[in-house]
Structure 1
Amino acid sequence: MIPFNKPYSTGLELTYISDALSTGKISGNGKYTKKCQDFFETKYGFKKTLLTTSCTDALEMAALLIGIEPGDEVIMPSYTFVSTANAFALRGAKIVFADSRPDHPGIFEESIELLITKNTKAIVPVHYAGVACDMDVIMDIANRHNLYVIEDAAQAIDSFYIGKDGIKRALGSIGHLSCFSFHETKNIISGEGGMLVINHEPFLRRAEIIWEKGTDRAAFFRGEVDKYGWVDIGSSFLPSEIIAAFLFAQLENLEKIQKRRLYLWEMYYQNLEEYSLLTKIRLPKIPNFATNNAHMFYLVCKNVDQRTKIIEALKNEGILAVFHYVSLHSSKYFGTKHDGRKLMNTDNYSDCLLRLPMYYELSDLEVLKITEIIKKVK
């Protein structure tokens, strides 16, 4: 049996969890929370980071920070996880779905400006598979129309955008806000968990208040105020120190984990490159402005039937390969709310994209077995 995903343990998780227990503080915003946040701020140049219980929570914090209200419009790709939309729909926003790129499931940047109205408040690009959207284009549009940009970087840890100026910037460091996931299916995990990145100076203080249930509790513990109280809206977004301790063990092994995943990704690509040309199956494309963090390896099949045949061929050998999102614009909940535009690329990815097993402990022989089975399907 080869599963689609297998969570990886570095061996230090239990050691750090035990250490967190010994501190007598496991409720959050303690020793390991600070270690994780310092790691990200130092390594990637994020202005401020706040660990959250999930990427969903980070997105909901972002919606609160930019002041989403009923009637506001938020532009995002339809080919994404429901949390991307839910965070803003919960605040009453109208979600305006954009199509995907023809060559990649990320948002089709050229379509964004046509969707902007006087009610548009934000653009939410999703860095699908850890591959950057064209952030120069998106930030230019946002700046000209006075819009916020919130990067959904759930899959994008340790991935970068190469700007027109030649400067390489970490994904998550470019928009006003960004959101990461440490769900067990991601490169770096804590079971459940996420992070909000604040790059926009005016949001720094309020983000911490929202994070701390609408109180200035964090400032109190730093000795900046003599008591704390309810000063804004907020919720319980902090993860426990147990989650943070687990995550820190992963972060210490980031380079090792990434090296292995990139090796496996390249092995998939090399083994399937010739086959893809013969069968018209598309392999992942990395645009020249993006880097690859090997979050996933996927195929884009010619049609649903071809994808089904590959899934069945793998399943018969005990290998689990899975498709991904159903287009949100055509979902049971949103279908009647959509404005009727055809999002052809999005629907094509929903019908034809197939994700192959990808995890640290996947062996070379297992990748070889997977690719050999796929190559027998015509």
Structure 2
Amino acid sequence: MTGNELKYIQQAVTLGKISGNGEFTSRCQTFFENRYSFHKCLLTTSCTDALEMSAILLNIQPGDEVIMPSFTFVSTANAFVLRGAKIKFVDSKAEHPNMDEMQIEALITPKTKAIVVVHYAGKPCEMDTIMDIAERHGLFVVEDAAQAIDSYYHGKPLGSIGHLAAFSFHETKNIQCGEGGMLVINDPQFAKRAEIIWEKGTDRAAFFRGEVNKYGWVDMGSSFLPSELQAAFLWAQLENLQDIQAKRQAIWQDYQGFFSEDAQQPTILSDKYLKKFTKGIEEAQLTEKYKVCTEDSSPNAHLFYLIFEQLSQRTAFINQMKEQNTLCVFHYQSLHQSDFIKAYQGENQTTLPNADRYSDCLVRLPLFYELG
């Protein structure tokens, strides 16, 4: 909470319109378009909704194939499965949970329609390589930027590079409104239809702008708009984005300084640090970390994680931290190993060892604005 959330919710109520696409929705969308040079933004009730809108916009049909990482949240895949797509999973990199862009091209077939990238922890995927692959094969790129607000790739804001992008404002994100999301349209060919899909398949938004004399059902769509109460809450967060990010960066840097005697080198966690932090779990290893605000990549301090050598070590760490009233949690389970995808697509013979390793060995530490 940054201070004005309840004030702006009261203002939204006083204005007399708390359904979607009102004053605060407009403020939020304009903020993102101006700050990050997104072509068009549409607030949604969740990042999941934004991804589902992407699948509709790309006209995903049964039998189409969509390439994406296995180490991601189920919404990334569900949005396209709902349209009947077959999912082709890519392994993570050995050094980071992001998808290994060098594995993408081998998965492309005549049925491939799109590549969905996930910027894990706000760290950019290799977008130059991915966009080049997409252009050569005539594919669309969707950025799942749920964790990537205010993060950059070679100076370009994440979410501004692919044809479409989806952001999350869930309460676990850097800025939030409880539940919320946003679709970003960077390819102008999708802008008009996106607004129609957003408004339940009608040209209602054009009607209220005076562009048509009545509105009707002109395309498929659904109820993707958040209420003005959510948008008002989000606006209070956006007003304080710089302060929120500065605080999160400071916490992130505190963690990095704590876990590394030499900030330039990944280190084996020494007994000194383990005893200080966990009462002495041995042989835990921090095998990957990324720099903050380096020349080529500006992670946004969304989360800080450790990678242990074995599942048993991670479990022991989580349990001992819980005894000290500190909640540390693991993250995604590899989607290619899920019961659903095996039932939906059949047993997958592909091995994705890095995705499985992150599922078993990665743990997230507490990181939120009020953290002391």
Aligned residues: 350
Asked if 1:339 corresponds to 2:344, the answer is: no
Q: Deviations for 1:323-364, whole angstroms, at most 9, x for unmatched residues?
A: 00110000111135353110000000000000000001111x
Question: In structure 2, what is the equivalent of residue 367 of structure 1?
Answer: none
Question: In structure 2, what is the equivalent of residue 318 of structure 1?
Answer: 325
Q: Is residue 252–residue 301 contact of structure 2 (8 Å, CA) maintained in 1? A: yes
Question: In structure 2, what is the equivalent of residue 373 of structure 1?
Answer: none
Within the candidate set 287, 293, 297, 1:282 is matched to: 287
SS of the equivalent of 1:39 reads helix
SS of the equivalent of 1:247 reads helix
| Percent identity over paired residues | 62
Asked if 1:93 corresponds to 2:85, the answer is: yes
Asked if 1:74 corresponds to 2:66, the answer is: yes
Cα separation, 2, equivalents of 1:116 and 1:283: 29
Q: Deviations for 1:293-313, whole angstroms, at most 9, x for unmatched residues?
A: 000000011110111121111
Cα separation, 2, equivalents of 1:61 and 1:362: 35
Cα separation, 2, equivalents of 1:98 and 1:262: 30
Cα separation, 2, equivalents of 1:32 and 1:103: 41
When normalised by structure 2's length, the TM-score is 0.92
Question: In structure 1, what is the equivalent of residue 365 of structure 2?
Answer: 356
Within the candidate set 215, 223, 227, 1:236 is matched to: 223
Within the candidate set 188, 198, 206, 1:201 is matched to: 188
Q: Kindly provide the amino acid, as one letter, of the partner of residue 51 in structure 1.
A: L
Q: CA deviation at 1:277?
A: 5.1
Q: CA deviation at 1:284?
A: 2.5
Q: CA deviation at 1:288?
A: 6.0
- Please provide the CA RMSD for this pair: 1.1
Question: In structure 2, what is the equivalent of residue 264 of structure 1?
Answer: 251
Alignment of 1:43-192 (within 5 A): 43-162=35-154, 168-192=155-179
When normalised by structure 1's length, the TM-score is 0.91
Cα separation, 1, equivalents of 2:52 and 2:268: 40
Cα separation, 1, equivalents of 2:288 and 2:242: 25
Question: In structure 2, what is the equivalent of residue 255 of structure 1?
Answer: 242
Cα separation, 2, equivalents of 1:117 and 1:285: 34
Asked if 1:10 corresponds to 2:15, the answer is: no
Within the candidate set 23, 40, 49, 2:15 is matched to: 23
Gaps of 5+ in 1: 1-8, 163-167, 364-378
Q: CA deviation at 1:111?
A: 0.4
Within the candidate set 301, 304, 308, 2:315 is matched to: 308
Cα separation, 1, equivalents of 2:290 and 2:249: 14
SS of the equivalent of 1:179 reads strand
Q: Is residue 95–residue 288 contact of structure 2 (8 Å, CA) maintained in 1? A: no
Cα separation, 1, equivalents of 2:288 and 2:349: 30
Q: Is residue 273–residue 283 contact of structure 1 (8 Å, CA) maintained in 2? A: no
Within the candidate set 6, 21, 27, 1:35 is matched to: 27
Q: Is residue 132–residue 289 contact of structure 1 (8 Å, CA) maintained in 2? A: no
